[in-house]
Amino acid sequence: MRNAAMILGVIAGMIGMMVGFVGYGFVELIDQFGEIDGIAEQVDNPELVQSASILAPLLAIAGGAMAHARALIGGIMLLLSAAGMYFAFGFGVFTMFPIAFAGVAGVLGLAAGKPDEPKAHF
């Protein structure tokens, strides 16, 4: 379970980085050049989008990396990453995989216990 959480978390973070680059760039583009009515309008909460563009993929990669050694902390970080991506970007065609991968990895990290290691985190 720990290995699956690690791999899914890192993949979620890498895909989330691509979504984050686009989200952060879009907010900056609209700030620089202004809105175009009906084509490009600023998001409702640009600070949330920019913060989640950086923090959510970072939490996913870090949570996936530590899922093998500290599954409980890694699982919590992965679930926070999935929640951050969901609330900032919503659930759509480009965000469904990083949200789902981070969520499943978080659940696997929380569920990892005695079968993988003699000392469980509960």
Predicted confidence (pLDDT) per residue in 15-43, tens digit:
999 999 999 999 999 999 888 888 888 98
CB distance 81 to 16 below 8 Å? yes
Strand partners, 40: 36
Instruction: Tell me which residues of the chain have a pLDDT lower than 50.
Output: none
Instruction: Tell me the C-alpha distance between 29 and 108, whole Å.
Output: 38
Which two structure tokens, joined as six digits, stand for 20?
A: 């984050």
Q: How far is CA 121 from CA 14, 20, 86, 109, 115, in A?
A: 27, 32, 27, 10, 12
pTM of the model: 0.88
**Domain boundaries in the chain?**
2-111
CB distance 105 to 63 below 8 Å? yes
